[in-house]
Structures are given as structure tokens and as C-alpha cells.
Amino acid sequence: MIQAKKKFGQNFLIDQHIIKKILDSINPNKSQSILEIGPGLGALTIPLLKKLNHIYVVEIDRDMVKFLTKKIPSNKITIYQEDILEVNDKKFSKFNFIIGNLPYYISTAILLKLAKINKNKASLFFMLQKEVAERVSANTSTKMYGRLSSMLQYYFKIETLFDIPAESFNPVPKVISTFVKFTPKKLSELNALNQENYEKVVKIAFQYKRKNLKNNFKGVLNESDFLKLNLDSKSRAETLSVENFINIENYLSRKKLSF
């Protein structure tokens, strides 16, 4: 029996009803290519292979890799034994779907990495900690809306599909999970002139959560800039939509202001 390793965020799915619901949501066809992050003991990988000819997986734990190598014929699976955060961006370009029951200790880092890969046209289906799912999908001017929401909603349409109780996993985690779909927006909808500047604008805006825009953008935007942008400098970042952040980015990038 393989012991779950805490340091790799291992909580294995054991609930067949939930596994079926996940597969029904992804619903791939044989011609599509899928990358799974963190296959573990194959709770999703093995049933997915009933619908696919081949699957690609990235798994850091060599014990899991050994297990999968024994369990699944080598012509059905390509295993990259790597840290997902170290995988070269180019490797992500050929997939229709990137899926996974993510290791929660790095789930936001994985989401941000995948969001920023321009050529990544894949839809993502991820199981996330419910609290993270709420943050990524939060509407403007709500308690959960923040830097992560405005970063990810720039790149994706985000839908929370269903919750997964802690008892669906072994070992049982302390948190509830949510299954979330991320559909990439069209390149024509990504209207920042400079992607890095968009990220910087969002970072500055949310720098001090309790401060207003005027304070957070001190030395970058003055009152006349806010007027031109049609924004109230006394409001806070959580009231700004992705559109608003794009406008600020365009304004700063056009003026070639350094910030």
C-alpha cells in the first residue's frame, strides 16, 4: 500500500460518483489530447483512458510514476516525471484540455503559470480548494474579489461546476473542494498592450487592500489621469473590473510611463 505524502499535497480521489461527474464534465473524444497534472494513483487517468487513446501526465513523485508505469501500458501514457512549475512553457501548447486534482499547496502558482502562456489554447478543468475557487471566480465588488480574480479573469472565462466533499478523498483533507472550468478567451479579447504591464497594474492596485486607488497608484497616476480614465481615485481596487484594469494598462503603456 502506497502512503500518501503530505509534502506533495496527496489526497487521492476515491469517490466513484464524483469521478464519473468529473469525466462527464470533461467529456473528451478520442481525437483530443489531454495533459493531466498530478495523476497520483490514476483515479482520473485510468477511467479517462477508456475514452482516449493516449494521455500525457506530469507527476513529481517517483513512487506514483513507478505505480503508473506498472499499471498502464506504455503506449497509452507519456509520463513526465517533473515539477509542474518547472515544465517548459512549450510543452503545454499541444493540448485540448489540461486537467487535474491539483496539489493545493501550489494550485495558484500553477494557474498563474498556465494563464500567462500565450499560446496555451487549452481549456482547463481543475479541482481546487473551495476558497481558491471562490476567489478565482469572484465578481467585482465582492469580498472574495482580488488580485487572483482579476489576473485569471483577464485570460479565462471561469465557471465553478460543483463542490466535492472532503470525504471523497483519502486521506480526508480539511477543506471542501470545487471543480472549476477555465475556458481561454480569444486572443482578440486580450486587450492589454503589454501583458507584463497588466500584471503590474493589478499588483499595484491591490498592493494595500485597505487603501484607495489614489494611494496605491501614488507616483504613477495623478488626479487628472484618474479623470481621463473615468475612475474615482477614492474607490478601491476591488471595485474595478478586468475592463478597468485593461484601460489603466493601455493608458500607462501608451504614455510609456514607467511604473
Write out the residues near ligand SAM by the rule CB under 6 A.
8-13, 38-40, 43-44, 58-61, 64, 83-85, 101, 103, 106
Helix, strand or coil, per DSSP, at residue 100: strand
Residue 255 C-beta-side C-alpha neighbours within 13 Å? 14
For residue 220, the minimal CB distance to ligand SAM (Å) is 35
> Contact 205/217 with Cβ under 8 angstroms?
yes
For residue 142, the minimal CB distance to ligand SAM (Å) is 28
For residue 63, the minimal CB distance to ligand SAM (Å) is 8
Of 36 and 249, nearer to ligand SAM (C-beta) is 36
For residue 10, the minimal CB distance to ligand SAM (Å) is 5
> Contact 246/198 with Cβ under 8 angstroms?
yes
State phi, psi for 49 to the nearest 5 degrees. Answer: -70, -10
Q: List Cα–Cα distances, 259 to 19, 27, 183, in angstroms.
A: 47, 44, 31
Of 105 and 208, nearer to ligand SAM (C-beta) is 105
For residue 12, the minimal CB distance to ligand SAM (Å) is 4
Of 47 and 259, nearer to ligand SAM (C-beta) is 47
> Contact 122/182 with Cβ under 8 angstroms?
no
| CA separation for the pair 44, 22 (Å, rounded) | 8
Of 15 and 225, nearer to ligand SAM (C-beta) is 15
Of 9 and 184, nearer to ligand SAM (C-beta) is 9
